[in-house]
Amino acid sequence: AQTVTQSQPEMSVQEAETVTLSCTYDTSESDYYLFWYKQPPSRQMILVIRQEAYKQQNATENRFSVNFQKAAKSFSLKISDSQLGDAAMYFCAYRTGRGNNDMRFGAGTRLTVKP
């Protein structure tokens, strides 16, 4: 079964600086997708960024970018120019490309942004 590991329960960053959140996963599949979701205190699950495994180029979305290392099964999230509104729980998730398409989630990293 696929597993997702986030080894940093908590991280903090100074406003305007850069922070990297780590994620590793375990799979024997070649067709899959990876995601970072943000969960603010409102509980809403908000998609931050996605990466298709077949794409070698790392995904970017404005201040958010990923470092996707397929051979190492690593998928880290970099947040540049951190803002107070970035403070939240961040979940790394894996989705298989076949079958029921369900997602497996890591335990999450709580990000604090200091003014």
Partner 1 sequence: NAGVTQTPKFRILKIGQSMTLQCTQDMNHNYMYWYRQDPGMGLKLIYYSVGAGITDKGEVPNGYNVSRSTTEDFPLRLELAAPSQTSVYFCASKGWRNTEAFFGQGTRLTVV
Q: Report the interface residues with partner 1, using CB under 8 A.
A: 4, 6, 9, 33, 35, 42-45, 47, 50, 52, 91, 95, 100-108
Nearer to partner 1, 61 or 81 (CB): 61
CB of 8 to partner 1, least distance (A): 13
CB of 42 to partner 1, least distance (A): 8
Distance CA 70, CA 17 (A): 27
CB of 113 to partner 1, least distance (A): 19
Residue with tokens 């080894």: 7
Tally helices (H) and strands (E) across the chain: 0, 12
Report yes or no: 86 and 110 within 8 Å, Cβ to Cβ.
no
Nearer to partner 1, 7 or 18 (CB): 7
Nearer to partner 1, 16 or 36 (CB): 36
CB of 60 to partner 1, least distance (A): 16
Can you say whether residue 70 is alpha, beta or left, with left for phi > 0 and alpha for psi between -120 and 50 degrees?
alpha
Report yes or no: 68 and 34 within 8 Å, Cβ to Cβ.
yes
